[in-house]
Amino acid sequence: MALPEFTMQTQAVARCPLCRGAERSDVITVPGPLKSAARFVQCAGCGLIYMDPAPDQDSLAAFYRDIYTHPEFRETDGHAHKDPRQEFVHAFRVQETHVDEIEKHKAPPGSMLDVGCAYGGLLLEARLRGWNTQGVELSSDAVRFCNESLGLDVRESGIMDADLPQGAFDVVVMLEVIEHVPEPVRVMRRAAKLAAPGALLYLTCPNAQSPAARILGAQWIGWKPPTHLQFFGYATMRDLLERTGWRPLRIFSGGSYPGQIRALAQRAE
C-alpha cells in the first residue's frame, strides 16, 4: 500500500519558539519522508534547535490525520511494527520503567494525566498500580482502543482545548510530545495550570544536542521531519520548565533510544 499523495505547506518561523529571539544559525538539513528536506537552525539566544521553515497549522493537522498513522509512513519513520497495537505490546516494558521513575518521587494513590497517551500503555500500567488515570490523545483510533479495549478514560483532544479541571492532577506525563507542538511554552503553562500544587511532571523528548545526534548526523532517529518541530537539551529544557511554572528536579538521559532526554519537575507554588 502506497502513501497517499500529500503536499506539505510550510511557513517561516520568525522567532525562536522558546525565547522569541530572531537570530539563528544553520545546524543541519535532513531528508524527509515526502521527498522534501527539513532545515534545522539553532537560536543564538537560548540555544534551542528548531525547524525553519516549518509546516503550517493546517498542513500539520492534515498530515497527522492522513499520513502519520499510515502503515507505509510508520515504516519510513522507524517504527518496528505497521500495527501500532503490536508496538504497544512490545513497548510495554519501557512504559513500566517510566512509571518506576515517576514512583521514585510520588507514589499512588493520586491522579495522573497522560498528555498524548497514544494506545494507553503507560496509563494501563499506572492504573494497575493504583493511580486514578486520565489521558488526552489526538488519534481517534488510539482513543477508541483506549476506551473500548482497555477501559481507560481517554479524551480525543489536545491539551490546549481539553475540558479538564484545573489544579486536579498529582502527576502530568508528556512522553515524546513537546517536540511536536508549535507553541511549547503555552503547552507547558497549560500543563502547570492543570497540575495540583506540588504536582510532578515527567517529560521525555529527543535531544538534538546529544552525542547520538552529533555522531549520527542526518541519520539520527530523533529528527523525524516534518513532525518534530524543536528539540530541547539540558539547558533549554531547564529554561522551558522555569519559564512555565515548573521547578526542575532532574534532567537526564538514558531513555528508550539514543539521544532521548528526560525531565522531572515539580509545579512551582
**Looking at residues 183-203, what average pLDDT do you find?**
98
Cα–Cα distance measured from residue 92 to residue 234, given in angstroms and rounded to the nearest whole number: 27
Structure-block grid coordinates of residue 246:
515548573
Which pLDDT tens digit goes with each residue over 87-131?
666 667 788 999 999 999 999 999 999 999 988 999 999 999 999
Residue 217 vs residue 140, higher pLDDT: 217
Find, among 179, 181, 18, 187, the residue nearest to 113 by Cα. Answer: 187
- Residue 202: the pLDDT is 98
Cβ pair 75, 3 in contact under 8 A: no
pLDDT tops 90 at residue 4: no
pLDDT tops 70 at residue 209: yes
Name the β-bridge partners of 169.
195
Cα–Cα distance measured from residue 163 to residue 157, given in angstroms and rounded to the nearest whole number: 9
**Looking at residues 143-154, what average pLDDT do you find?**
94
Cα–Cα distance measured from residue 200 to residue 48, given in angstroms and rounded to the nearest whole number: 24
- Residue 1: the pLDDT is 58
- Residue 10: the pLDDT is 94
Structure-block grid coordinates of residue 179:
517536540
pLDDT tops 80 at residue 70: no
What does pLDDT average to over the chain?
Answer: 92
Residue 1 vs residue 3, higher pLDDT: 3
**Looking at residues 56-63, what average pLDDT do you find?**
89
pLDDT tops 80 at residue 72: no
Q: Where are the domains of the chain?
A: 80-267
pLDDT tops 80 at residue 163: yes
pLDDT tops 90 at residue 29: yes
In the chain, which residue ranges form alpha helices assigned H by DSSP?
A: 57-66, 71-76, 84-90, 92-103, 121-128, 140-144, 184-194, 211-216, 234-243
pTM: 0.93
Cis-peptide, bond into residue 165, ω within 30° of zero: no
Segment holding 107, helix H or strand E: none
Cis-peptide, bond into residue 109, ω within 30° of zero: yes
- Residue 150: the pLDDT is 92
pLDDT tops 70 at residue 81: no
Distinct helix (H) and strand (E) counts, the chain: 9, 13
- Residue 80: the pLDDT is 52
Annotation: CATH topology of 80-267: Rossmann fold (3.40.50)
Over pLDDT 70: what percentage of the chain? 92
- Residue 67: the pLDDT is 80
Cα–Cα distance measured from residue 124 to residue 120, given in angstroms and rounded to the nearest whole number: 6
- Residue 68: the pLDDT is 80
Place 167 in a pLDDT band, splitting at 50, 70 and 90: very high
Q: How far is CA 237 from the centre of its chain?
A: 13
Q: With the C-alpha atoms ordered 10, 15, 20, 25, is the resulting torsion angle positive or negative?
A: positive
- Residue 75: the pLDDT is 67
Residue 123 vs residue 32, higher pLDDT: 123
